């Protein structure tokens, strides 16, 4: 589903509030609770509606307009709003001077400008004190955001924006939460003429599969992690499924299945998804492998991945809790170690089974479960991040050593030490022929020495060799 931010569009001219029924106690309380994010035009519409039934429907539409994913059962923002509003009331409620009257009036924390920004954007990346008037209750402060949303907000000691441009800033922040532009208030003669149900999107086949999961064929999942821009983590995922009963076609002598692959990671405040069409090759064991990629913030997610044959409507879903690592710890962190069958120079193909493992014109070819044959060769790829920078040279200094160890503990292979002087470093080792490797399991061990910090870091991965 496309998520778009748009301005509020009204479908009618508001009529006189006198024609509307008076709000009851619960409705007044609800309007007060959502005041932090409600647009002035929305308040007018709510007050103008004649019937209680319409005001109940209005509340559903109100939250749906702010729901990041209308096809999930839970409104992620509504949950976040409740949590942040409660914290905003605790943190920012104060007595602030009314600039016009020159008197002190209580300002609810969730309706202060600090509360508004916190409710909409969450915790700032950084805060700093700024100079201000001694008449103010607290100290003026600047909040900086440098993540997905970038910006700066300055508050006086009463938790308010500077007078000039304050209303425009509040309106812009509130508008930013309207993420469903197709959901709106259709009003005629003080009555809603279109219920929310008529505006909700209809799920596509792959979405419908995840909404009502089933297992028409065996399916399994694995994930690897690397650091991506602006502090995020790239999730490189593979699914392997049984192709029995799927619609298979011959593509140049190779059997392939056309599948819809959809991955959804549900986090504390949003659901991140990826969906694409895949042409997955069927191997000698009548299995297919397909890939997906997601960009996520560190933390715990409920992950669901579904593969659907649109021709036969057969589909399966695999679900698990996914703990996404943090690669921004102020010291060296190491990505997943990739055990690869090949590294190819290619023309990007969005339908290729391993398209999610394409980086520019390079395609990594992993093996599901890291299982190889003696007739194969293995290549190993890795990255590491954020070594300490030498104050004199203005560069880091690291040494990486990669080894393949036997299950007995002996060394099967060892790459020469590699030295790096960059904050993001990595290499690809191989290919290493496996013909002389006895069947069994092996360990890949990467050790990185930060010469500036005087610390050593390590990461391991296993792979298996079969006949």
Domains of the chain (ranges plus CATH)? 1-66+178-202 (no CATH), 77-166 (no CATH), 204-328 (2.60.40.10), 329-467 (2.60.40.1930)
Average pLDDT over residues 263-288: 90
Other residues' Cβ atoms within 10 Å of the Cβ of residue 190: 20
The model's pLDDT over 180-199, given as tens digits with 9 standing for 90+, comes to: 988 999 999 999 999 999 99
- Amino acid 69: pLDDT: 82
Residue 351 backbone class (left: φ over 0; alpha: ψ -120 to 50; beta: rest)? alpha
Q: Would you say residue 45 has pLDDT above 50?
A: yes
pLDDT confidence band for 466 (50 / 70 / 90): very high
- Amino acid 105: pLDDT: 60
Query: For residue 321, what are the CA distances in angstroms to 221, 299, 303?
Result: 12, 10, 6
Which of the pair, 35 or 136, is modelled with greater confidence?
Answer: 35
Contact status, residue 206 vs residue 270, Cβ threshold 8 Å: no
- Amino acid 267: pLDDT: 85
Residue 253 backbone class (left: φ over 0; alpha: ψ -120 to 50; beta: rest)? left
CA angle 460, 462, 463 (to 5 degrees): 145
Q: Would you say residue 135 has pLDDT above 80?
A: no
- Burial state string for 39-77 with b = 16 or more CB within 10 A and e = fewer than 16: beebeebbbbbeeeebbebbbebbbbbbbbbbbbeebbb
pLDDT confidence band for 90 (50 / 70 / 90): very high
Report the distance separating Cα 259 and Cα 262, nearest Å.
10
Helices (H), 230-377: none
CA angle 340, 346, 350 (to 5 degrees): 90
Lowest mean pLDDT among 39-53, 90-104, 321-335: 90-104
Q: Would you say residue 5 has pLDDT above 50?
A: no
- Amino acid 407: pLDDT: 87
- Amino acid 12: pLDDT: 38
pLDDT > 70: what percent of the chain? Answer: 91
Q: Would you say residue 102 has pLDDT above 60?
A: no
- Amino acid 269: pLDDT: 66
- Amino acid 70: pLDDT: 85
Q: Would you say residue 379 has pLDDT above 90?
A: yes
- Amino acid 1: pLDDT: 38
CA angle 294, 120, 152 (to 5 degrees): 95
Average pLDDT over residues 335-348: 95
Q: Would you say residue 52 has pLDDT above 60?
A: yes
Total-model pTM: 0.68
Q: Would you say residue 264 has pLDDT above 90?
A: yes
Average pLDDT over the chain reads 90
- Amino acid 38: pLDDT: 95
Q: How many CA atoms lie within 13 A of 336 on its CB side?
A: 19
Highest mean pLDDT among 75-79, 269-273, 338-342: 338-342
CA angle 208, 212, 218 (to 5 degrees): 100
- Amino acid 179: pLDDT: 87
**283: which 2 tokens?**
């191997």
- Amino acid 251: pLDDT: 84
- Amino acid 7: pLDDT: 34
Report the distance separating Cα 123 and Cα 127, nearest Å.
10
Average pLDDT over residues 385-407: 96
pLDDT confidence band for 383 (50 / 70 / 90): very high
């Amino acid at each position: 589903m496309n998520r778009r931010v748009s301005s509020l569009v009204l479908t009618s001219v508001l009529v006189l509030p006198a024609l509307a029924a008076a709000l009851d106690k619960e409705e007044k309380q609800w309007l007060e609770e959502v005041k932090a994010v409600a647009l002035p035009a929305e308040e007018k519409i709510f007050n103008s509606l004649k019937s209680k039934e319409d005001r109940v429907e209005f509340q559903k539409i109100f939250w749906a307009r702010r729901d990041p994913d209308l096809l999930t059962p839970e409104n992620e923002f509504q949950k976040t709003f409740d949590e942040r509003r409660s914290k905003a009331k605790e943190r920012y409620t104060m007595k602030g001077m009314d600039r016009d009257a020159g008197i002190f009036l209580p300002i609810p924390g969730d309706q202060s400008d600090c509360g508004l920004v916190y409710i909409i954007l969450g915790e700032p990346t950084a805060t700093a004190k700024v100079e201000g008037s001694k008449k103010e209750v607290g100290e003026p402060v600047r909040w900086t955001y440098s993540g997905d949303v970038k910006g700066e907000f300055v508050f006086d000691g009463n938790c308010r924006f500077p007078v000039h441009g304050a209303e425009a800033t509040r309106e812009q922040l509130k508008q930013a939460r309207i993420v469903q532009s197709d959901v709106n208030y259709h009003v005629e003669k003080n009555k809603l003429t279109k219920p929310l149900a008529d505006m909700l999107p209809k799920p596509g086949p792959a979405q419908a599969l995840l909404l009502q999961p089933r297992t028409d064929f065996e399916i399994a999942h694995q994930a690897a992690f690397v650091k991506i821009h602006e502090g995020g983590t790239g999730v490189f995922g593979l699914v392997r499924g049984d192709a029995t009963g799927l619609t298979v076609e011959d593509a140049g002598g190779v059997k392939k299945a056309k599948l819809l692959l959809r991955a959804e990671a549900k986090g504390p405040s949003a659901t991140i998804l990826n969906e694409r069409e895949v042409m997955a090759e069927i191997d000698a064991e009548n299995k297919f492998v397909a890939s997906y990629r997601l960009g996520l913030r560190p933390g715990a997610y409920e992950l669901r991945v579904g593969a659907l044959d649109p021709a036969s409507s057969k589909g399966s879903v695999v679900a698990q809790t996914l703990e996404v690592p943090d690669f921004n710890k102020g010291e060296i962190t190491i990505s997943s170690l990739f055990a690869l069958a090949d590294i190819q120079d290619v023309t990007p193909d969005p339908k290729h089974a391993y398209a999610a493992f394409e980086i520019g014109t390079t395609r990594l070819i992993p093996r599901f479960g890291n299982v190889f044959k003696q007739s194969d060769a293995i290549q190993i790829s890795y990255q590491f991040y954020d070594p300490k920078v030498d104050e004199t040279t203005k560069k880091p200094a690291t040494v990486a050593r990669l080894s393949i160890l036997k299950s007995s503990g002996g060394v099967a292979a060892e790459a020469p030490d590699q030295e790096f002087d960059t904050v993001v470093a990595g290499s690809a080792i191989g290919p290493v022929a496996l013909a002389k490797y006895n069947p069994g399991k092996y360990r890949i061990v990467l050790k990185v020495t930060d010469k500036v910090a005087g610390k050593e870091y390590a990461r391991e991965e296993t792979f298996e060799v079969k006949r």
